Amino acid sequence: MEKKWWHKKTAYQIYPKSFYDSNGDGIGDLRGIVEKLDYLKELGIGILWLSPVYASPCADQGYDIKDYYDIDPRFGTMEDMDLLLAEAKKRDMAVLMDLVVNHCSDEHQWFKKACQDPDGEYGKFFYFQEKRDKKLPCNWRSYFGGPVWEPVEGTDKYYLHVFHKKQPDLNWENPKLRQEIYKMINWWLKKGVAGFRIDAIINIKKPDTFKDYPADREDGLCDMGQVLAHAHGIGEFLGEMKRETFEIWDALTIGEVFHVEEAQLREFVGEGGYFSSMFDFRETLEGKSVLGWYDCQIPTPDAYKRCCFESQRIMEDVGYLSNIIENHDEPRGVSHYLPSYGQNERGKKLLAAMYFMLKGLPFIYQGQELGMENKVFSSIEEIDDISTKEEYRRCLEVGYDKDQALKAAGHYSRDNARTPFQWSDEPNGGFTKGEPWLGINDNYRRINAREQMGRDDSVWAFYRQLIALREHATYGDTVVYGRTEPVLEEERNIMAYFRRGEGQDILVIGNFDEEPKMVTIAGIKEQGQVLLNNCGSVDMDGGRIRLESCQAVVIGYGKKY
Ligand code: GLC
Ligand code: CA
């Protein structure tokens, strides 16, 4: 594999609205990020991904863009953005913007013009269709519920939106639209962003015709996953976008790619692929259901490990994955993947070590480094997220009472990850001097950055060690490039793998069980060098290792062992 500057880095996702509020209006902002760059540097972060800060009505928290060339006043100004780029550069940090080009906002000029003149130039920037036999053009269900079609006021036409109705889909079949997008991407790259995280990109190619597919719920609609399986030829768009933009600047691009066929992976993220990397969502998708959140199953540790290993196996000779345990769309990883007895600092470090040591670029979502947890919502009124509101409605529709509905939708709510960052035990966790736009998690007095940074055995300190291992004098190369080789795959609640490097190996092993476990790793005779351990000392004799409940260790072995 050709080595790239970013392989050995650690990336960090900032959700600007909830990171740090510099002016007391209750909303996190760009100046707030600038103020916290030293915090991120101290942690060891090399790449920042900013969720959208473009001008937006914020129907979907900035993922509905009304002007790609402007910053939303909630977040600051273009001068603030320039300041952030300059300050990040001083600290040798690369900044990735969020590239949201499957759709824009219904308040974007393009859409306004399109509605005024549906048959004109801008009408072709979107998908406008008429009813057929008094029926909507097709029965696709939007990701946020309900049909994908919405009337264009004052006409007999409907526009397509696979997400919220305030997010009309852009018509990628139109070369003029594509050129507008490339122009915008180049504008940002010229400004000095290192690249992009690319939002919902798999949706830009629709099936050739708007036709019905078998309904998967009583509403007669079908899931977009089913629809996208019938869309072919996305590669033409992605290849063109790469040639006309990313390639020119050698940009770093991470695709939000759900559902791509294994046979296509090389084309996406192999040598010369459309993107530098893509997120591994296999664990995220595990247990999910087309019926809605009420029907989802929380993955067991063994299911989690199976997913990780499957992705590692598939990607080993293909490209460099991006690994996560959470993001702004998912529950907090520690509340989702850890069994109840592991919902503590030891368990949080176990999960951290297990995903972080996999081959790929690790992403940390803000607050994850503190072990921030899901919030316990006491009423649906506390929730802002459009997707949670729809899923809550869905729970009631299938017969749940309000408490059950809140519990089911609450676990998966995107707002779990969107509550303000917990900086200290001051009011509102030190996030704002005003009223936070979204209620903070009550546990901020116990879980906060100030407390953890002052303690050697905190989750924060553990993440810092994990990050530092990527540049370890002896083992760094193996951490970054070593082949992943699972061991003891059949051992219940044990997740163990080697990273095989040149003349050295690293063993990563963790015990997700409630009880201590004794395991034997075949072929190991020597004592290795303990690189990381989340719990007391390591009880080992060559390949025989005893692990406490939720203990994780990382051990390096030299040439002969
Ligand atoms: C992506 C984003 C999500 C957003 C959606 C529509 O999945 O991560 O937050 O709602 O795209 O832009
Ligand atoms: Ca603010």
Which ligand 1 atom sits nearest the alpha carbon of residue 414? 9
Whether 203 and 162 have beta carbons less than 8 Å apart is answered as yes
Token reading at 317: 């000779």
pLDDT along the chain (561 residues), means of 10: 96 99 98 98 98 98 98 98 98 98 98 97 97 94 97 95 98 98 98 98 97 96 96 97 98 95 96 97 97 97 98 97 98 98 98 98 99 97 97 97 97 98 98 98 98 98 98 97 98 98 96 98 90 94 95 89 49
Q: Is 63 in the pocket of ligand 1 (CB under 6 A)?
A: yes
pLDDT value of residue 525: 82
- As a whole number of angstroms, the distance between CA 189 and CA 181 comes to 12
Pocket test for ligand 1, best of 163, 254, 279, 281 (most atoms within 8 A of CB): 163
What percentage of the chain exceeds 70 in pLDDT? 99
Strands 11-14 and 361-365: parallel
Give the residue, by CA position, lying nearest to ligand 1 atom 7.
200
pLDDT value of residue 383: 97
- As a whole number of angstroms, the distance between CA 42 and CA 158 comes to 51
Position of tokens 């960052």?
421
Domain 481-558: top CATH class: mainly beta
Nearest ligand to the CA of 162 is 1
Position of tokens 């408490």?
403
**CB-based neighbours (< 5 A) of ligand 2, an ion:** 21, 23, 25, 27, 29
Q: Is 234 in the pocket of ligand 1 (CB under 6 A)?
A: no
Token reading at 510: 């963790």
Which ligand 1 atom sits nearest the alpha carbon of residue 144? 10
What Rg value do the Cα atoms of the chain yield, rounded? 24
| Helices (H) then strands (E): counts for the chain | 19, 21
Give the residue, by CA position, lying nearest to ligand 1 atom 4.
63
Instruction: Give the homologous superfamily in CATH for domain 11-102+175-378+416-463.
Output: Glycosidases (3.20.20.80)
Q: Is 286 in the pocket of ligand 1 (CB under 6 A)?
A: no
The alpha-helical segments, DSSP class H, found in 398-458 are 402-412, 415-418, 449-453
Cα(366) to centroid(ligand 2), Å: 17
Cα(143) to centroid(ligand 1), Å: 10
Position of tokens 């915090």?
39
pTM of the model: 0.98
- As a whole number of angstroms, the distance between CA 176 and CA 179 comes to 5
Whether 363 and 49 have beta carbons less than 8 Å apart is answered as yes
Under DSSP, the state recorded for 160 is E
Cα(145) to centroid(ligand 1), Å: 14
Cα(6) to centroid(ligand 1), Å: 24
- As a whole number of angstroms, the distance between CA 81 and CA 172 comes to 28
pLDDT value of residue 542: 87
Q: Is 251 in the pocket of ligand 1 (CB under 6 A)?
A: no
Token reading at 123: 């009408």
Whole-number average pLDDT of the chain:
97
- As a whole number of angstroms, the distance between CA 161 and CA 147 comes to 9
In total, the chain counts a number of residues equal to: 561
The catalytic site residues sit at 199, 256
Listing DSSP states for 19-69 in one string gives T--SSSSSS--HHHHHHTHHHHHHHT--EEEEPP-EE---TTTTSS-SEEE
Strands 157-160 and 149-151: antiparallel
Cα(360) to centroid(ligand 2), Å: 34
pLDDT tens per residue across span 183-235: 999 999 999 999 999 999 999 999 999 999 999 999 999 999 999 999 999 99
- The domain locations on the chain are 11-102+175-378+416-463, 109-160, 481-558
Which ligand 1 atom sits nearest the alpha carbon of residue 387? 10
Cα(63) to centroid(ligand 1), Å: 6
- As a whole number of angstroms, the distance between CA 209 and CA 422 comes to 48
CATH code of the domain made up of 109-160: 3.90.400.10
Give bridge partners of residue 254 from the DSSP assignment: 197, 277
Give the residue, by CA position, lying nearest to ligand 1 atom 6.
63
- As a whole number of angstroms, the distance between CA 43 and CA 466 comes to 10
